[in-house]
Amino acid sequence: MDHQHYQEWLQLSLYDELSDDARALLEDHLRTCTECQAEGDRLRGFHRILSAHRPMPVTEQLLQQARRERRVAWHESVENGLGKRVGDALMGFFARPLRMALAGVAILVVGFAAGWFAMTQSVGSGGGFIPGMHQAGGNSESFAPGSMRVQNIRFIERDANTGNIEVEFEAVSPMRVRGNVNDASIQYVLARVLLNEENPGMRLRAANMFGTASDDRTSADYQVKTALIAAMKADPNLGVRKQALTVLQEYLPDPSVTEAFLSVLANEKNIGMKIAAINALDLKKLTGRTASQDVLQALQKTVASDENNYIRIRAQAALEEVQQ
């Protein structure tokens, strides 16, 4: 046996992964081999260095945070699953006659092939796709129907005489895009992540990334702002809503953002969110602009009827500021 082999055993012995027989052989060898003795010393030194670095500990707080986000994701999944069950029931209705089922399968195959053809054509010509985006895998030649996922199938029409049915579905194919957060293609993807991704952690990350975009919000894509507003108003995850609100402050005094903050003030259940919204509205950014009637009314309503004393006081201050 060569030294290399013994040196591997040395490493295994440090992890207590060596059998008794192998350990006895190794000890015998070490009595006479200075090279392997030295290697053993170096290896133990290496392990001492490693002990300086410990992986990030999982705190109770981190675990609880992850659990909360998981429950939200599951909850959303259950809600989405209801639609799927209804779809399945409809599928069952259509699938009863064998003839029609076979026709459906045939049409699906045709649709699949047509979708593949259309997508390969688009990729090849660069038309109809997001700028800078290409399919994961490098080029259109590597694309195959097998990499495409069919989802949200919808039966549009059936003809009892011929057995023909029309099917609509979404063909999903893996894509990859690289670029700056200010690029239109990246913003396009992030906006969809923010609105459609099941995982709240991913949505939060998308909102965070919008926060790192260029300071020049005037040039920001309309869809970014719209996505952030939708997330702030309706995302089921508080962290995502809060982050969207934080990023949207940069857009003030944009009237649609102001209106969205007023909507949060009127409809949000979480007190922290309402306080953040009222604080944002109170920023100097509103000064010098004529407050719309909607803003005044919303603030007056808050002053008159909000359950939280602090929010009423802050609304009063904001009202006085915008009325100046």
Partner 1 sequence: MSVSTGSFDVTAATDTELILHAKQGNMDAFETLVQRYDRRVLTIAAGYVNSADDAKDIYQEVFMRVYRALSKFEMRSEFSTWLFRITTNVCLSYRMRGRRHQHASLERGSEDEGQPHQGPPALRDETTAERMGEDEEIARRVAESLEKLSPRQRLVFTLRHYEGYKLTEIAEMLKCSEGSVKKYLFEATARMREHLNDLA
Q: Which residues bind partner 1 (CB under 8 A)?
A: 8, 11-12, 15, 17, 42, 45-46, 49-50, 52-58, 62-63, 65-67, 69-71, 73-74, 77, 198-202, 205
Nearer to partner 1, 244 or 291 (CB): 244
Closest approach, Cβ 45 to partner 1, in A, equals 5
Nearer to partner 1, 47 or 289 (CB): 47
Closest approach, Cβ 94 to partner 1, in A, equals 23
Nearer to partner 1, 58 or 98 (CB): 58
Closest approach, Cβ 87 to partner 1, in A, equals 16
Closest approach, Cβ 272 to partner 1, in A, equals 21
Closest approach, Cβ 306 to partner 1, in A, equals 34
Q: What is the three-state SS of the chain? A: CCHHHHHHHHHHHHCCCCCHHHHHHHHHHHHHCHHHHHHHHHHHHHHHHHCCCCCCCCCHHHHHHHHHHHHHHHHHHHHHHHHHHHHHHHHHHHHCCHHHHHHHHHHHHHHHHHHHHHHHHHHHHCCCCCCCEEECCCCHHHCCHHHCEEEEEEEEEECCCCCCEEEEEEEECCEEECCCCCCHHHHHHHHHHHHHCCCHHHHHHHHHHHHCCCCCHHHCCHHHHHHHHHHHHHCCCHHHHHHHHHHHHHHCCCHHHHHHHHHHHHHCCCHHHHHHHHHHHCCHHHCCCCCCHHHHHHHHHHHHHCCCHHHHHHHHHHHHHHHC
Nearer to partner 1, 8 or 27 (CB): 8
- φ and ψ at 239, to 5 degrees? -60, -40
Nearer to partner 1, 204 or 315 (CB): 204
Nearer to partner 1, 163 or 179 (CB): 179
Nearer to partner 1, 45 or 126 (CB): 45
Closest approach, Cβ 237 to partner 1, in A, equals 11
Closest approach, Cβ 60 to partner 1, in A, equals 9
